[in-house]
Amino acid sequence: MPINILMPALSPTMEKGNLAKWLKKEGDTVKSGDVIAEIETDKATMEVEAVDEGILAKIVVPEGTADVPVNELIALIAGEGEDPKSVTTPSAGGAAPAPALKAEAAPAPAAAAASQPQANAIPGDASAHMSYARVDQAPAGPAQAAKPNGAGQVQAGGNRVFASPLAKRIAREAGIDIASVQGSGPHGRIVEKDVRAALQGGGRKPAAAPAPAAAPAPAAKPAAPQLASSMGADQVKAMFEAGSYEEVPLDGMRKTIAKRLVESKQTVPHFYLSLDCELDALMALREQINAAAGKDKDGKPAYKLSVNDFVIKALAIALQRVPAANAVWAEDRILKMKHSDVGVAVAIEGGLFTPVVRKAEQKTLTAISAEVKDMAGRARTRRLKPEEYQGGSTAVSNLGMFGIKNFQAVINPPQGTILAVGAGESRVVVKNGAPAVIQAMTVTLSCDHRVVDGALGAELLAAFKQLIESPMGMLV
């Protein structure tokens, strides 16, 4: 019997991927651990290793195919003693055959997620972050292979509705019976957009007593003008003269950024705290440390610290001094992190990465500087591993190099905060009753009010300011 090769889930939130390239061809011998294909996710290109041995008998999904669902059959390996030429693609259109559900089916995703000992996960470890991310994802394996019932929801044991926690919460707040919503996620799973469609009257399942067959009525036009972001593409294009624009198709990264940040602003109650930090002592210390750097084999300085390196370190230590702010929202609980895992926003062509510096409070400034440079370089070539840019309790977004004085950053869930850093500049202030010129920058902390209240956010910013203005404290 041939062995199925399925589209792998390369990150906890991955639902689809692009099969960029096959590194093996039909008839090649495959051994466990061989790299057989390259898969493009929304933010990275990753290699896929074989876990079985045999002859690659049939490539079902050709390279270059976009949006291949997770767990879809992509190739077949001939089993031991089997003739590769006799292997044929299943007649079900390429999908992997789903095993029949037994009465003692595996627990449903929501129940399984609730039973996981999340409180015992070690914050800062990749598995802990992946455990959190999987709360909103149907698990792989036989349990996920359950087929949707006729109404569009996946059921196990008779009456359990498979829906994401976010979809359930939105339905509950809107007074919608989640069981009446048509699911469009993997294997009929109900996701956020399905509930929002139901709110607009277009996503509910048919009533138990169906009406006489008739063509579906067109959706009612809104009484008030919609925002451009909620219009369809044709509606937006109709507002502009033909030929006055160029259409740029969305890639996976831009789609993901749009989806996650719209979700963030709609579901995360943001509030913002700003203050000014004096930089004179920090700039003097930075110059002294950089001047003491030795030379590498190429004759270049062994390191060169940036202001952003100090910002990351200061925020990491501040989170240890105010541990209640080092937390993330997990729907029915708050996860307080033991270590300061700080994300760093890195702009790349067409999008944004936020690689995470793990246990930043324990690392030296030079170690943080080297790690950020390495991850930023690999981010620009989309070679970061998912565990390198997922998780973290906070992040730093620095636009000071572009001359931006201050701004408000959008929180990247499930993180609880994000620090927006403006440009350092000379300012005239009053010191000891007389005007004085200092170097200063404005920082703004965006807070998830479900996790960090106003006073707690202010306490965190005060600890950060003290470290920036007395930077020797970061060296001891």
- The residues carrying an active-site annotation are 449
Q: Look at the alpha carbons of 359, 363, 368, 374 in this order and tell me if their dihedral is positive or negative.
A: negative
Neighbours of 102 (CB within 10 A): 8
Residue (of 106, 113, 129) closest to 164 by Cα position: 113
Round to whole Å and give the CA distance between 192 and 199: 11
Q: Look at the alpha carbons of 183, 187, 192, 197 in this order and tell me if their dihedral is positive or negative.
A: negative
| Residues sharing a CB contact under 8 Å with residue 254, sequence separation 6 or more, in sequence order | 350, 351
| Residues sharing a CB contact under 8 Å with residue 214, sequence separation 6 or more, in sequence order | none
Instruction: Enumerate the β-bridge partners of residue 421.
Output: 398, 443
Residues in the chain: 476
| Residues sharing a CB contact under 8 Å with residue 414, sequence separation 6 or more, in sequence order | 132, 328, 329, 330
Round to whole Å and give the CA distance between 188 and 31: 35
Buried-state track 186-198, b at ≥16 Cβ within 10 A, e below 16 = bbbbbbbebbbeb
- The DSSP letter of residue 270 is E
